[in-house]
Amino acid sequence: MLAMNYRGPYRVRVDEKPMPQILHPEDAIVRVTRSCICGSDLHLYHGMVPDTRVGMTFGHEFCGIVEQVGPEVRNLKVGDHVLVPFNIACGKCHFCQQGLFGNCHEANAQATAVGGIFGYSHTAGGYDGGQAQYVRVPYADVGPMVIPDWMDPDDAVLLTDVVPTGYQAAEMGGIQPGDTVVVFGAGPVGLMAARSAWLFGAGRVIVIDHLDYRLEFARVFGPAEVYNFREIDDMAVFLKKQTDSLGADVCIDAVGGDAAGNALHYLFGTKLKLEAGSAIALHWAINSVKKGGIVSIVGVYGPTGNMVPIGNVVNKGITIRANQASVKRLLPRLIDHIKAGHINPKAMITHRVPLADIADAYHLFSAKLDGCIKPVLLPNGQ
Amino acid sequence: MTKQMVDTSKIPGWGADADPENDPTYPIRHIEDQKSRGLTWTRPTQQIPNVEILRSIEHNRLPAVIGTSTPPSGLSGAIRRYAFRRSESDWLHWLLLMGADRINVVEGVVEDLTRGKVPNIPGEMGARAEWQHNKTGFAVKAGATAAIAAVLVAAIRGRQSEKSVSPAAPAEPADPDKALFIPY
Ligand SMILES: NC(=O)c1ccc[n+]([C@@H]2O[C@H](COP(=O)([O-])OP(=O)(O)OC[C@H]3O[C@@H](n4cnc5c(N)ncnc54)[C@H](O)[C@@H]3O)[C@@H](O)[C@H]2O)c1
Ligand SMILES: [Zn+2]
Ligand SMILES: [Zn+2]
> For position A253, what pLDDT does the model report?
98
Buried b (16+ CB within 10 A) or exposed e, A21-36: ebbbebbbbbbbbbbb
- Assess: ipTM above 0.85: yes
Question: How does pLDDT run across A107-160, given as a tens digit for each residue?
Answer: 999 999 999 999 999 999 999 999 999 999 999 999 999 999 999 999 999 999
According to DSSP, the β-strands at A28-36 and A134-137 are antiparallel
Mean pLDDT of A160-177: 96
> For position B24, what pLDDT does the model report?
82
C-alpha to C-alpha distance for B137 and B130, rounded to whole angstroms: 7
Q: Is B79 helix (H, G, I), strand (E, B) or coil?
A: helix
Considering CB atoms only, which of A26, A109, A128 is closest to B55?
A109
Mean pLDDT of B150-166: 71
The answer to whether B80 touches A51, Cβ cutoff 8 Å, is: yes
High-pLDDT (> 90) share of chain A, %: 97
CATH hierarchy code of domain A2-161+326-378? 3.90.180.10
**Looking at CA atoms only, how far is residue A43 from chain B in angstroms?**
13
- Centre of ligand 3 from the C-alpha of residue A94, in Å: 7
> For position B5, what pLDDT does the model report?
78
> For position B181, what pLDDT does the model report?
35
> For position B15, what pLDDT does the model report?
83
Amino acid at B104: N
The answer to whether A262 touches A43, Cβ cutoff 8 Å, is: no
Mean pLDDT of A352-357: 97
Amino acid at A218: A
Specify burial of residue B17 (Cβ count, 10 A radius: 0-12, 13-18, 19+): exposed
Mean pLDDT of B98-106: 97
pLDDT at B171 over 70: no
The residue of chain B with its CA nearest to that of A12 is: B124
Res. B126 pLDDT band, cuts 50 70 90: very high
Mean pLDDT of A72-91: 98
- Centre of ligand 3 from the C-alpha of residue A108, in Å: 10
Mean pLDDT of A167-184: 95
C-alpha to C-alpha distance for A169 and B39, rounded to whole angstroms: 29
**In terms of pLDDT, which residue wins out, B154 or A147?**
A147
**Closest CA to ligand 1's atom 9:** A299
Q: Which ligand is nearest to the CA of A165?
A: 1
Res. A300 pLDDT band, cuts 50 70 90: very high
Are A106 and B64 within 8 A, CB to CB?
A: yes
What CATH superfamily is the domain A163-322? NAD(P)-binding Rossmann-like Domain (3.40.50.720)
Query: What is the CA B67 to chain-centroid distance, rounded?
Result: 15
> For position B163, what pLDDT does the model report?
54
Q: Which of A202-216, A219-233, A310-324, B16-30 has the lowest mean pLDDT?
A: B16-30
Q: Which ligand is nearest to the CA of A192?
A: 1
> For position B153, what pLDDT does the model report?
84
C-alpha to C-alpha distance for B129 and A359, rounded to whole angstroms: 8
Specify burial of residue A61 (Cβ count, 10 A radius: 0-12, 13-18, 19+): buried
Q: Which ligand is nearest to the CA of A300?
A: 1
The answer to whether the Cα torsion of A272, A277, A279, A281 is positive or negative is positive
Of A139, A125, A196, which is closest to residue A164 (Cα–Cα)?
Answer: A196
> For position B162, what pLDDT does the model report?
58
- Say if ligand 1 is within 6 A of residue A63 CB: no
Partners of B101 on chain A (C-beta within 8 Å) are 47, 50-53
- Say if ligand 1 is within 6 A of residue A130 CB: no
Q: Is B117 left (phi over 0), alpha (psi -120 to 50) or beta?
A: beta
The residue of chain B with its CA nearest to that of A115 is: B63
> For position B169, what pLDDT does the model report?
42
Point out the ligand 1 atom lying closest to the alpha carbon of residue A40.
Answer: 43
Around ion ligand 3, which residues have CB less than 5 A away?
A 89-90, 93, 96, 104, 106
Res. A17 pLDDT band, cuts 50 70 90: very high
- Say if ligand 1 is within 6 A of residue A379 CB: no
Amino acid at A25: P
> For position A270, what pLDDT does the model report?
86
pLDDT at B177 over 80: no
C-alpha to C-alpha distance for A353 and A376, rounded to whole angstroms: 6
Return the residue in B47, B125, B131 with the most chain A beta carbons within 10 A, the one to mutate for interface testing: B125
Indicate the average pLDDT of chain B. Answer: 83
Are B129 and A360 within 8 A, CB to CB?
A: yes
For chain A, give every domain's residue range: 2-161+326-378, 163-322
Are A109 and B125 within 8 A, CB to CB?
A: no
Are A370 and B133 within 8 A, CB to CB?
A: yes
Query: What is the CA B139 to chain-centroid distance, rounded?
Result: 30
- Say if ligand 1 is within 6 A of residue A209 CB: yes
Mean pLDDT of B141-158: 85
- Say if ligand 1 is within 6 A of residue A56 CB: no
Asked whether the bond before A18 is cis by omega within 30 degrees of 0, the reply is no
Partners of A333 on chain B (C-beta within 8 Å) are none
Task: Write out the H or E segment, with its range, that includes residue B136.
Answer: helix B135-164
